[in-house]
Amino acid sequence: MLHTLTALGGMQVAPHHLAAQAGRDVLREGGNAVEAMVAAAATIAVVYPHMNAIGGDGFWLIHEPGTAPVAIDACGFSAGLADREIYAGLETIPARGPKAALTVAGTVGGWAKALEVASAWGPALPLPRLLADAIRHARDGVAVTESQTALTTSKLEGLKDAPGFAETFLVDGAPPAVGHILRQPALAQTLATLAECGLDDFYRGSIAARIGAELERLGSPLRTGDLAAYSARIVEPLAVRLADCTVYNLPPPTQGLAALMILGLFERLGVSDGEGFDHIHGLVEATKRAFRVRDRFVTDPGRLRADPSGFLTAAALDERAADIDMGRALPWPEPAAPGDTIWMGAIDREGRAVSFIQSVYWEFGSGVVLRDTGITWQNRGISFSLDPSALNALEPGRKPFHTLNPSLALFDDGRVMPYGTMGGEGQPQTQAAVFTRYARFGQPLQQAVSAPRWLLGRTWGDVSTSLKLESRFAPELVQALREAGHQVELLDEAYSDTMGHAGALVRHSNGLIEGAADPRSDGAVAAL
């Protein structure tokens, strides 16, 4: 895809084409943007299982014209039995296996809460229709993608012994070939039960009972009672005011604060041209300042030390921007965190827009696939620390730190822009690249997504903290960054999975919708 696609009747973008088409088809049948997103979310949990699952978490930004955006926190909390004693003798929580499955999966609850928000918009499509594509793909099968094969291969050692993983995602003990038909009958039945009995069944019904019983049998600290105690929440989004727009994101426990700080700081640097040294260096240095705040502040929302919006005031941003040297790089030894996620966007004919993200944290999460339900369970809880003095120390009922953060910009001229990406540490950085390229330097939306990207820190299991660049950057720019003190690592790939799978939509005041999907993914823009 080389050109920005346009349409008038509605649009869905997703990192897998079948999910984009599922959302588009709901729009075609008169569904709204939230209903389209639920269909896409259920579908992508089936067709892109290395990136997300219904055993993970999610976050929403929903905008209806003329109203303030609504944010939904669909992040699960740690089990009531998840304390440091069950990990006695360990320095960290295991990354894979049953003890890595220690937080409630919140994303299905987020679907339900979003549909509640949308219920005020008029007649609803039935839930069986919204889940129909996901059920069909799970039952009949889907072709394994190149990225699923590659990640299964590279992470096989840590995943192969997790309960249920080999039976579900391996073929005779080996990673599936690209194009292998993956069928998930147990997951199909679970989705069919949700369609028939309602989404609440995941937490307080027959599905919840099966989930809780199997997790307990496998050795996870999660219990049926933890599921029953969970519900997604509507929360106040964070916002940063820029020259011509307001950009929204999620509050803690997400890193949405960092995504907004990067834009606020960069705006104060006075960069006038895109793609040159000042653009890249300025965003990287803004990222470092934002990450320092994030790493010292963002935690469970009930344990925050201060109001996160205080970091987004003009005065606070002015002070931190003044610390940025536009000629030299700040040394950056800070640790980082990996993650595997999907971002999707939807806009309907009436201009209602959704920015949505769903994740199991690492690729395939804990690796645990529940035999009775076909659900892959997240390992988001490994972001907790076993050090009782740490900011994100493990305690029962606590929400883990989240890299997830969907963005949505409302421009003063009437444009609405939901945008985002997967990619752990790279999420706020890629968001900043896409936004500034489009909104500050006038690039077409698809070019803003496709253009060469960078990543400070670690994602997809990488442990380095270098500044990674795709190979398409000009040699003189790479050299200038090195001379400024950046520890540059030039990747071999022109379009690297390391940089995540981004997407963006823009609706103009005249009803025209633009969409861009990432060529690094298996995604598409699907429109009416």
Alpha helices in 403-509 (DSSP H): 426-435, 445-450, 475-483
Which residues are CB-neighbours of 390 under 8 A, at least 6 positions away?
none
pLDDT given for residue 498 in this prediction: 84
Helix (H) or strand (E) holding 148: helix 146-154
By residue count, the chain amounts to: 528
Q: How confident is the model at residue 341 (pLDDT cuts 50, 70, 90)?
A: confident
Rounded alpha-carbon distances, angstroms, from residue 497 to 275, 408, 501: 20, 23, 7
Helix (H) or strand (E) holding 182: strand 181-182
CA–chain centroid gap for 108, Å, is 15
Query: Would you state the structure tokens that stand for residue 156, as one six-digit string?
Result: 């096989």
Rounded alpha-carbon distances, angstroms, from residue 328 to 268, 288, 292, 483: 17, 13, 18, 8
Q: Phi first, then psi: what are they for 515, rounded to 5°?
A: -145, 150
3-class DSSP state for residue 132? helix
Helix (H) or strand (E) holding 468: strand 467-469
* Nearest C-alpha neighbor of 495 from the set 473, 463, 464, 466: 473
- pLDDT tens for residues 204-229? 999 999 999 999 999 999 999 999 99
DSSP secondary structure string for all residues of 357-393: EEEEESTTTT--B-TTT-PBBP-GGGGSBS-TTSTTB
Q: Is the pLDDT of residue 353 over 70?
A: yes
Let me know the angle formed at the C-alpha of 527 by 522 and 528, rounded to the nearest 5 degrees. 155
Burial class (CB in 10 A: 0-12, 13-18, 19+), 482: middle
- For the chain, percent helix, then strand, then coil, each to nearest 5? 40, 20, 40
Which residues are CB-neighbours of 525 under 8 A, at least 6 positions away?
1, 5, 11, 12, 13, 20, 503, 515, 516, 517
The residues carrying an active-site annotation are: 341
Mean pLDDT confidence for 469-480: 96
Contact 210/373 with Cβ under 8 angstroms? yes
Contact 9/100 with Cβ under 8 angstroms? no
- pLDDT tens for residues 252-306? 999 999 999 999 999 999 999 999 999 999 999 999 999 999 989 998 898 888 8
Q: How confident is the model at residue 126 (pLDDT cuts 50, 70, 90)?
A: very high
Q: How confident is the model at residue 178 (pLDDT cuts 50, 70, 90)?
A: very high
Cα dihedral sign, 387-389-393-394: positive
Mean pLDDT confidence for 66-85: 96
More confidently predicted of 313 and 338: 313
63: which strand partners? 353
**Which CATH class for the 236-338+403-413+422-511 domain?**
mainly alpha
Contact 59/71 with Cβ under 8 angstroms? yes
Q: Phi first, then psi: what are they for 237, rounded to 5°?
A: -70, 155
Q: Is the pLDDT of residue 42 over 70?
A: yes
Q: Is the pLDDT of residue 459 over 60?
A: no
Query: Would you state the structure tokens that stand for residue 151, as one six-digit string?
Result: 């990640």
Can you tell me the distance from the alpha carbon of 509 to that of 511, in angstroms, rounded to the nearest whole number?
5
pLDDT given for residue 445 in this prediction: 98
Which of 14-23, 306-315, 416-425, 502-511 bottoms out in mean pLDDT, i.e. has the lowest?
A: 416-425
State pTM to two decimals: 0.95
Q: What is the residue extent of each domain of the chain? A: 236-338+403-413+422-511
